[in-house]
């Protein structure tokens, strides 16, 4: 009898201990840009392994991430299209960059391997405008005299959802092509002159992999993960460059984070012989006034940990970690601008 009571007590204590661990472990939710999804997923898996705290990040596009954080249905939103200062103020949001990467043109052209094809910004714009319709068009052939290009129609693939990657891509095309700027412009969603849409970086990568003679645009990690060929691009200094972590870092080295409210810099078409021309920061959005400060603190703790412990993981996926002076600046913004309802600081 006494032994049975001890056994029952021990079982009860074990259940209470397990419940205590479960209650202590955070289960955070975030949603938004597909551009940073590979690194956020990798960070989240390692963070759970180290701390027991789960971070569930959903790749739904930058537009969806902005909508969900405004609606307070997630703990943090993510967007590659930095929100305008007026919108940040209107919705009581704090914005900060989390990672830097590059968007690359990806192709599926028989006989053309990764990094062989050369394109300029104006030629790329004309392809996405539907003006250049075949791979052996004289404008492409003139840049690629060493390649045998097929006389096949070009299949353009673009994003179908509200996308920060699309914002960055169309912002770049608007800078290098007056025709693109006038006819299409820039935005998370635009009226595409030609082509077919895929949802997320994942969808565009899948279509390009499946469709012969296609071209699309994805974050560089998706090109690697899907075994896709990419094209060189001519940068602002007139140099043809390959996409790489070093090329993204060269573009980001010119960033003046203090020059843009909410640190919302667009890093396209930066100077420098080694700079990749379509480089972007991906941003996190959280509410400045927090009803649950402890939960908000866990969100910040995740990114704090990622910046301290996750640089190697980011580099493995060809992202560019933020410099230490930038992350120090961001922690200062957290301490100043993210508060509980009683006005107390969430991050100290």
- Residues 6 or more apart whose CB falls under 8 angstroms from that of 248 comprise 100, 101, 102, 220, 276, 279, 318, 319, 320
- What pLDDT does 25 receive? 58
Q: Judge whether residue 178 has pLDDT over 80.
A: yes
What average pLDDT does range 17-29 have in this prediction?
55
Q: Cα–Cα distance between 73 and 56 in angstroms, integer?
A: 13
Closest listed residue to residue 112, CA positions, set 218, 230, 234: 230
Closest listed residue to residue 59, CA positions, set 88, 80, 45: 80
Q: Judge whether residue 194 has pLDDT over 70.
A: yes
Q: Looking at 1-5, 120-124, 128-132, 202-206, which range is the least confident one?
A: 1-5
pTM of the model: 0.88
pLDDT tens by residue, 127-137: 999 999 999 99
Q: Judge whether residue 241 has pLDDT over 50.
A: yes
More confident residue, 16 or 348: 348
Backbone phi, then psi, for 305, in 5-degree steps?
Answer: -65, -45
- What pLDDT does 22 receive? 37
pLDDT tier at 13 (50, 70, 90 boundaries)?
very low
- What pLDDT does 10 receive? 40
- What pLDDT does 43 receive? 98
pLDDT tens by residue, 319-335: 999 999 999 999 999 99
Q: Cα–Cα distance between 245 and 266 in angstroms, integer?
A: 17
What average pLDDT does range 157-181 have in this prediction?
97
pLDDT above 70 coverage of the chain, percent:
93
- What pLDDT does 272 receive? 95
Average pLDDT, the chain: 92
What average pLDDT does range 216-242 have in this prediction?
96
What average pLDDT does range 306-312 have in this prediction?
97
Q: Judge whether residue 227 has pLDDT over 90.
A: yes
- What pLDDT does 314 receive? 96
What average pLDDT does range 154-182 have in this prediction?
97
Q: From the CB of residue 259, how many other CB atoms can be counted at a distance below 10 Å? A: 9
Q: Judge whether residue 5 has pLDDT over 50.
A: no
Closest listed residue to residue 299, CA positions, set 327, 332, 338: 338
- What pLDDT does 254 receive? 84
Q: Cα–Cα distance between 280 and 165 in angstroms, integer?
A: 9
| Domains, the chain | 105-254 (3.40.190.10)
């Amino acid at each position: 009898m006494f032994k049975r009571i001890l056994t029952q007590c021990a079982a009860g204590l074990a259940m209470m201990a397990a419940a205590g661990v479960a209650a202590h472990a955070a289960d955070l939710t975030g949603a938004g840009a597909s551009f940073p999804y590979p690194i956020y997923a990798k960070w989240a898996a390692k963070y759970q392994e180290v701390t027991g705290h789960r971070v569930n990040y959903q790749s739904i596009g930058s537009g969806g991430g902005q909508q969900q954080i405004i609606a307070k249905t997630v703990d943090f939103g993510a967007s590659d299209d930095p929100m305008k200062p007026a919108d940040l103020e209107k919705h009581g949001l704090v914005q900060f960059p989390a990672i830097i990467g590059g968007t690359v043109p990806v192709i599926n052209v028989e006989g053309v391997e990764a990094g062989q094809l050369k394109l300029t910004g104006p030629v790329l714009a004309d392809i996405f405008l539907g003006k250049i319709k075949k791979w052996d068009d004289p404008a492409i052939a003139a840049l690629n005299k060493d390649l045998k290009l097929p006389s096949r129609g070009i299949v353009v693939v673009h994003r179908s959802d509200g996308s920060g990657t699309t914002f960055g891509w169309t912002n770049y095309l608007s800078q290098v092509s007056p025709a693109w700027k006038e006819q299409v412009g820039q935005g998370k969603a635009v009226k595409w002159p030609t082509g077919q849409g895929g949802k997320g970086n994942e969808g565009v990568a899948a279509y390009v992999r499946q469709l012969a003679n296609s071209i699309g645009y994805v974050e560089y990690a998706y090109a690697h993960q899907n075994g896709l060929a990419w094209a060189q691009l001519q940068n602002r200094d007139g140099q043809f460059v390959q996409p790489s972590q070093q090329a993204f870092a060269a573009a980001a080295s010119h960033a003046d984070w203090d020059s843009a409210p909410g640190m919302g810099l667009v890093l396209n078409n930066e100077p420098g012989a080694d700079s990749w021309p379509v480089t972007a920061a991906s941003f996190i959005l959280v509410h400045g006034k927090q009803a649950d400060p402890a939960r908000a603190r866990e969100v910040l703790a995740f990114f704090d940990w990622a910046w301290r412990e996750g640089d190697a993981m980011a580099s493995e996926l060809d992202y560019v970690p933020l410099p230490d002076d930038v992350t120090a600046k961001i922690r200062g913004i957290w301490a100043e601008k993210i508060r509980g309802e009683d006005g107390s600081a969430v991050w100290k």
